[in-house]
Amino acid sequence: MRKTLSTYLTKDHYLIHADMWNTKTFPSRCNIINAGLGESNLLNIAGGLASQNNIVFVYGVAGFVIHRYEQLKFSCKHFGGNSGKIIICNAGKIGYEKLGIGHSLDDDEGIMKLLDIPFFAPETIKDFKFYMDYIEKQKNGVFYIQLGKDFT
Protein backbone atom coordinates (compact mmCIF):
# COMPACT_ATOMS: atom_id res chain seq x y z
CA MET A 1 0.00 0.00 0.00
CA ARG A 2 3.01 2.30 0.14
CA LYS A 3 2.67 2.78 -3.60
CA THR A 4 -0.91 3.96 -3.18
CA LEU A 5 -0.01 6.03 -0.12
CA SER A 6 2.70 7.82 -2.09
CA THR A 7 0.05 9.12 -4.51
CA TYR A 8 -1.56 11.07 -1.65
CA LEU A 9 1.65 12.85 -0.66
CA THR A 10 1.92 16.39 -2.02
CA LYS A 11 4.60 19.05 -1.79
CA ASP A 12 2.72 20.55 1.17
CA HIS A 13 2.82 17.34 3.22
CA TYR A 14 5.47 15.86 5.47
CA LEU A 15 6.37 12.18 5.59
CA ILE A 16 8.34 11.08 8.62
CA HIS A 17 9.52 7.49 8.55
CA ALA A 18 11.66 5.16 10.62
CA ASP A 19 14.19 3.99 8.04
CA MET A 20 11.49 2.38 5.91
CA TRP A 21 10.69 4.62 2.94
CA ASN A 22 12.59 3.95 -0.27
CA THR A 23 12.23 7.11 -2.37
CA LYS A 24 13.24 5.28 -5.55
CA THR A 25 10.55 2.63 -5.17
CA PHE A 26 7.94 5.03 -3.77
CA PRO A 27 8.71 8.48 -5.22
CA SER A 28 7.03 11.34 -3.42
CA ARG A 29 6.87 15.08 -3.86
CA CYS A 30 6.49 15.74 -0.14
CA ASN A 31 8.99 16.80 2.49
CA ILE A 32 10.59 13.57 3.74
CA ILE A 33 12.29 13.16 7.11
CA ASN A 34 14.01 9.91 8.05
CA ALA A 35 13.97 9.68 11.85
CA GLY A 36 15.96 6.47 11.77
CA LEU A 37 15.33 4.11 14.64
CA GLY A 38 13.97 6.86 16.86
CA GLU A 39 10.24 6.30 16.92
CA SER A 40 9.73 8.43 20.04
CA ASN A 41 11.43 11.34 18.31
CA LEU A 42 9.51 10.58 15.13
CA LEU A 43 6.20 11.11 16.93
CA ASN A 44 7.45 14.25 18.72
CA ILE A 45 8.52 15.73 15.37
CA ALA A 46 5.14 14.80 13.86
CA GLY A 47 3.36 16.56 16.70
CA GLY A 48 5.49 19.66 16.33
CA LEU A 49 4.95 19.88 12.57
CA ALA A 50 1.19 19.29 12.92
CA SER A 51 0.99 21.99 15.59
CA GLN A 52 1.94 24.44 12.83
CA ASN A 53 -1.14 23.44 10.79
CA ASN A 54 0.70 20.88 8.67
CA ILE A 55 -0.42 17.50 7.39
CA VAL A 56 2.03 14.86 8.53
CA PHE A 57 2.21 11.22 7.52
CA VAL A 58 4.04 8.84 9.84
CA TYR A 59 5.31 5.50 8.53
CA GLY A 60 7.10 2.85 10.54
CA VAL A 61 6.88 -0.61 12.04
CA ALA A 62 3.63 -0.62 13.98
CA GLY A 63 4.93 -2.15 17.18
CA PHE A 64 7.73 0.37 17.47
CA VAL A 65 5.56 3.40 16.67
CA ILE A 66 2.33 2.78 18.57
CA HIS A 67 4.01 1.61 21.77
CA ARG A 68 5.20 5.17 22.29
CA TYR A 69 2.05 5.90 24.26
CA GLU A 70 3.12 9.19 25.85
CA GLN A 71 4.27 10.65 22.54
CA LEU A 72 1.04 9.54 20.85
CA LYS A 73 -1.05 11.01 23.64
CA PHE A 74 0.74 14.28 24.30
CA SER A 75 2.78 15.21 21.22
CA CYS A 76 0.39 13.90 18.58
CA LYS A 77 -3.15 13.84 19.95
CA HIS A 78 -3.18 16.81 22.32
CA PHE A 79 -0.51 19.04 20.78
CA GLY A 80 -0.30 18.45 17.04
CA GLY A 81 -3.71 16.97 16.35
CA ASN A 82 -5.53 20.07 17.57
CA SER A 83 -4.01 22.24 14.84
CA GLY A 84 -2.94 19.96 12.03
CA LYS A 85 -3.39 16.41 10.88
CA ILE A 86 -1.30 13.32 11.61
CA ILE A 87 -1.92 10.15 9.65
CA ILE A 88 -0.09 7.14 11.07
CA CYS A 89 0.35 4.34 8.54
CA ASN A 90 2.20 1.30 9.72
CA ALA A 91 4.09 -1.66 8.51
CA GLY A 92 2.78 -4.55 10.55
CA LYS A 93 -0.03 -6.91 11.34
CA ILE A 94 -0.49 -8.98 8.18
CA GLY A 95 2.51 -10.21 6.22
CA TYR A 96 5.17 -9.44 8.82
CA GLU A 97 4.73 -12.44 11.14
CA LYS A 98 8.14 -13.95 10.34
CA LEU A 99 9.88 -10.77 11.52
CA GLY A 100 8.89 -11.26 15.15
CA ILE A 101 6.40 -10.05 17.69
CA GLY A 102 7.40 -6.39 17.37
CA HIS A 103 6.34 -6.45 13.73
CA SER A 104 3.18 -8.50 14.13
CA LEU A 105 0.99 -7.02 16.81
CA ASP A 106 -2.51 -7.48 18.06
CA ASP A 107 -3.00 -4.48 20.33
CA ASP A 108 -2.96 -1.49 17.97
CA GLU A 109 -6.74 -1.21 17.78
CA GLY A 110 -6.98 -1.27 21.59
CA ILE A 111 -4.33 1.43 21.98
CA MET A 112 -6.11 3.64 19.46
CA LYS A 113 -9.39 3.15 21.36
CA LEU A 114 -7.69 4.22 24.60
CA LEU A 115 -6.51 7.40 22.91
CA ASP A 116 -9.76 7.97 20.98
CA ILE A 117 -7.84 7.92 17.69
CA PRO A 118 -9.86 6.73 14.67
CA PHE A 119 -8.69 3.27 13.58
CA PHE A 120 -8.91 2.04 9.99
CA ALA A 121 -7.99 -1.44 8.75
CA PRO A 122 -8.26 -1.52 4.95
CA GLU A 123 -8.27 -4.94 3.35
CA THR A 124 -8.05 -3.69 -0.24
CA ILE A 125 -6.72 -0.70 -2.13
CA LYS A 126 -10.34 0.43 -2.59
CA ASP A 127 -10.83 0.40 1.21
CA PHE A 128 -7.58 2.33 1.68
CA LYS A 129 -8.68 5.03 -0.78
CA PHE A 130 -12.09 5.27 0.91
CA TYR A 131 -10.46 5.85 4.31
CA MET A 132 -7.98 8.37 2.88
CA ASP A 133 -10.84 10.30 1.27
CA TYR A 134 -12.58 10.40 4.66
CA ILE A 135 -9.41 11.59 6.42
CA GLU A 136 -8.79 14.27 3.81
CA LYS A 137 -12.20 15.78 4.61
CA GLN A 138 -11.38 16.16 8.31
CA LYS A 139 -10.08 19.53 9.49
CA ASN A 140 -7.47 18.14 11.90
CA GLY A 141 -6.74 15.24 14.23
CA VAL A 142 -4.77 12.02 14.48
CA PHE A 143 -5.72 8.96 12.42
CA TYR A 144 -4.35 5.43 12.35
CA ILE A 145 -4.36 3.17 9.31
CA GLN A 146 -3.36 -0.44 9.91
CA LEU A 147 -1.49 -1.70 6.86
CA GLY A 148 -0.10 -5.07 5.91
CA LYS A 149 2.36 -5.87 3.15
CA ASP A 150 1.86 -3.94 -0.07
CA PHE A 151 -1.02 -5.18 -2.19
CA THR A 152 0.54 -3.77 -5.37
Give residue-wise pLDDT tens across range 28-79.
889 999 998 889 999 999 999 999 999 999 988 888 888 899 999 999 999 9
More confident residue, 2 or 12: 12
Q: What is the CATH number of domain 2-145?
A: 3.40.50.970
Averaged pLDDT for residues 128-144? 96
Domain parsing of the chain, residue ranges: 2-145
pLDDT at 136: 95
Q: The whole model's pTM is what? A: 0.91
Q: Is there a contact between 58 and 43 (Cβ–Cβ < 8 Å)?
A: yes
pLDDT at position 152, please? Answer: 46
Residue 93 or residue 44, greater confidence: 44
Give the CA distances from residue 127 to residues 1, 36, 78, 102, 115, in Å, rounded to whole numbers and listed in that order: 11, 29, 28, 25, 23
DSSP 8-state code for residue 98 = G
